[in-house]
Amino acid sequence: MNRPAPRDLTVIGKTYVTPNMLRVTLGGDGIASFPDDQASAYVKLIFPIDGDEKGRVIRRTYTVRHDRITDQGRQIDIDFVMHGTGDHDAGHDAGNNADHGGPASNWAVNCTPGDTITIGGPGPKKLVDPTADWFLIVGDMTALPAISVNLETLPSDARGYAIIEIASEADMQDLTRPDNVTLEWVINPNPGTNADALPDVVAKLPWGDGRPSVWAACEFTAMKKLRDHFRGNRGLGKDDLYISSYWKLGINEDNHKVVKAEDAQTAA
């Protein structure tokens, strides 16, 4: 299948959802060719490299948080994690939403209504299996957009847990979820430096009856710990487990892709 041609979208506005999460709303004429119903799909934000005579670009991966029709036309929201230091973008097949100090976060902070951004994609959604008996959804702030959509699309009678690592209590969001899905926030002021924060909480959870659908995405080192737990301690296979790293502390998205590919070879 051929990839969709990139399109230019227009900045409609932006707002801080929490102190460390900046939401940019995109629309304009370019969105007319964007496929419908793309919340939780990933897109590539494309940035030219200043002074590069070969026309090379930088691509950064982000999740579509909302996709809606308004009085002003079709709009999508992209959420950017602003907390942290260094340039650790989370390259991933379902969105990263963290590129601290990198081209995407700098663009998000400085963009104004009327600016344009070139968007590649969308790529496929990664959602839990709605036919499972219960659900476990795990991630850090970079995965919050995808987690939010997963929770919103669960059956109303779904049961399970959502465990989310955030930088501060102020970064808690009011997430729509079924009544029987317990939400627990894990506070980690230094994302990536304490890779045990999320896995430790997950390891202590009661394990439900029946077939689970587990969805997890976070920083690389924490992801590996979670993967060891889900595969080794809980015996989950690919049919019941989706897990991915969205970023790795200290490296950008391009280098993270290399690390992910090497890890996939050894973890298969």
Instruction: Using DSSP bridges, classify how beta strands 134-139 and 159-166 pair: parallel, antiparallel or unpaired.
Output: parallel
CATH code of domain 7-123: 2.40.30.10
Measured CA distances, 108 to 112, 122, 200, 206, 266 (Å): 9, 19, 33, 40, 36
pLDDT in single tens digits along all 268 residues of the chain: 567 789 999 999 999 999 999 999 999 999 999 999 999 999 999 998 888 878 899 999 999 999 999 999 999 999 999 864 333 333 333 346 666 668 999 999 999 999 999 999 999 999 999 999 999 999 999 999 999 999 999 999 999 999 999 999 999 999 999 999 999 999 999 888 899 999 999 999 999 999 999 999 999 999 999 999 999 999 999 999 999 999 999 999 999 999 999 999 888 7
Phi, psi dihedrals of residue 178, rounded to the nearest 5°: -65, 155
Give the integer Cα–Cα distance in Å for 37 and 215: 21
pLDDT digits (tens, 9 = 90+) for 215-244: 999 999 999 999 999 999 999 999 999 999
Query: Where does the chain hold its CATH 2.40.30.10 domain(s)?
Result: 7-123
- The residues, any chain, with a CB within 8 Å of residue 169's CB and separated by 6 or more, are 185, 187
φ and ψ at residue 158, rounded to 5 degrees: -65, 150
CA distance 236 to 69: 39
Structure tokens at 46: 């494309």
Which tokens belong to 88? 């650790």
Separation CA 60–CA 53 (nearest Å): 21
CB 57 within 8 A of CB 46: yes
CATH 3.40.50.80 positions along the chain are 126-267
Q: What angle do CA 23, 29, 30 make, to 5 degrees?
A: 70
Given a contact cutoff of 8 angstroms between Cβ atoms, the answer to whether 7 and 32 are in contact is no
Q: How many CB atoms lie within 10 A of CB 14?
A: 18
**Which residues, in sequence order, are bridge partners of residue 152?**
none
Fold of 126-267: Rossmann fold (3.40.50)
Strands of the 241-247 sheet, one edge to the other: 180-187, 159-166, 134-139, 212-219, 241-247
CB contact set of 2 (below 8 Å; sequence gap of 6+): none
Is 217 strand, coil or helix?
Answer: strand
Token pair for residue 218? 């976070």
